[in-house]
A = this chain, B = another copy of it.
Amino acid sequence: MESSAEVLYVELISSEEALKKLLDEVSVEVGSEVVRLLSSVGRHSFRDYVSTVDVPPFSRSAVDGFAAIFADIVGASEGSPALLRVTGSVDVDSVEVPTINRSEAVKVSTGAPLPRGADVVIPIEYCKVLEDRVYVYRSYPRYANISFKGEDLRVGDIIVRRGTKLRPWHVAALKASGYEEVEVFRKVRVSIVSTGSELVKGVLPNYTLPLVASYIAELGGEVALTDVVPDSIEDIATAVEKALELSDVVVVTGGTSVGDRDLSPRALESLGRSKKVFHGVRVRPGRTCGAYVVDGKLVLLVSGLPVATYVSLELFLKPLVYKLYSSKPEPKPTVRGRLTRRLPNEPGFRSFYRAVACIEGDEVLIVPLRLTGSGVLSTLVRGNAVVEVPEDSEGYEEGTEIVATLVNPLVECSSIKLPI
């Protein structure tokens, strides 16, 4: 068996390749559950939904005004209004729909069914009523101010595709079709195995566990099980086995490096039926990240240092969870700004720097934080932006205009306490 040290330094691969291999190897499928429509927002639809109705269900007025026949109002103007006889009114809840004939008009509310025979609606502000007559002071094109039956949605139109993360408008469209329940993917179950004798003994607080657990919750997953085990191949293996029973994905924190106590890869190898996908990626921080597949499920090994862990979760856990939901990660908010100091890059590595993106006058400045260690939690707390330097770049010079990902709102540069 190869030692993890050899593996790590021989087989460092790019994060793109690592992700591709990982997504190819994982074969677990996530089932569905039925939830009430009003609880469905943020969940991923398990199937396509089509409209069962025409929206609008009938042709209707798009404004408050008078429905008329186009031929009767064509050419009407301030100086030469059309004069029509008002024969009735129709409202949004009217069941009887009147018919109009030449030279007639019917008063209509927004949303009211269009009188039979009408082919234009004149907004009320261009009409003046005198007893049972109405003066129309403006002409409109034929069909103006009418919403036609099915113009919004037609029976059979797809309103939600499988995998779609449901947003408020999807919920509304489902409601319009009379759906009161939705079949969504059940939440992906992720377990966390924290390794580290220092954590078991309480020498150090285990703050990576809540970091990962919160990350899973934000991602729309469910934490199935958490366990904290000492640096022992057997204990790690036993915890991973238990976690695999209850989960779709297992995240193991700690023990992924090349020290004597970095036993996570060896524990995974000891399971016998595990397949190594990769160990060691050209990413900083997060170089020691590894992935095994067991029973078709991902076991992701992350360093345990908080920033490195966060980067690994972003690069590997998030795309996998979205894939399990037949979906794609949401776009991230970004900001374009001027870099205030040089960001170097180790050739061949994809690097992530934390920074403060701040507004100074008309300009956005991107101020990299000084401390960049993979364990430096405070940079996540103090920063609001992440700058990625791609593998093929030697870094960015001071003054370069770059695009950063925003993780918290922009701040005023004057509010930053220096040095940062």
Contact = CB atoms under 8 A, between A and B. Distances in A.
Interface in A116-137: 124-125
Contact of A125 (B9, B37, B40): B9
Contacts of A213: 38, 171
Interface string A304-333: 001000100000000000000000111111
Q: Which of A41, A42, A110 neighbours the largest number of chain B CB atoms within 10 Å of its CB?
A: A110
B197 A93 contact: yes
A378 interface: yes
B211 A151 contact: no
A142 interface: no
B375 A170 contact: no
A105 interface: no
A96 interface: no
A87 to B, nearest CB: 17
Identical copies of this chain, number: 2
A367 interface: no
Interface string A78-106: 00000000000001110100000000000
Interface in A389-410: 406-410
Interface stretch (A13-21, A199-207, A232-240, A271-279): A199-207
Interface residues of A, number: 90
Contacts of A207: 172-173, 175-176
Interface string A202-223: 0111111111111101100000
Given A38-B210, A55-B378, 8 more contacts: A41-B214, A53-B205, A91-B261, A109-B261, A160-B381, A172-B210, A175-B211, A333-B334
The 9 closest A-B pairs by CB, nearest first: A169-B380, A331-B333, A64-B259, A168-B214, A172-B211, A41-B214, A93-B198, A175-B207, A92-B198
10 contacts: A56-B375, A93-B197, A152-B377, A153-B377, A153-B381, A168-B218, A172-B208, A173-B207, A173-B377, A175-B209
Interface of A: 9, 37-38, 40-42, 53, 55-57, 62, 64, 91-93, 95, 109-111, 124-125, 147, 151-153, 157, 159-160, 164-176, 178, 196-198, 201, 203-215, 217-218, 257-262, 306, 310, 328-335, 371, 373, 375-378, 380-381, 406-410
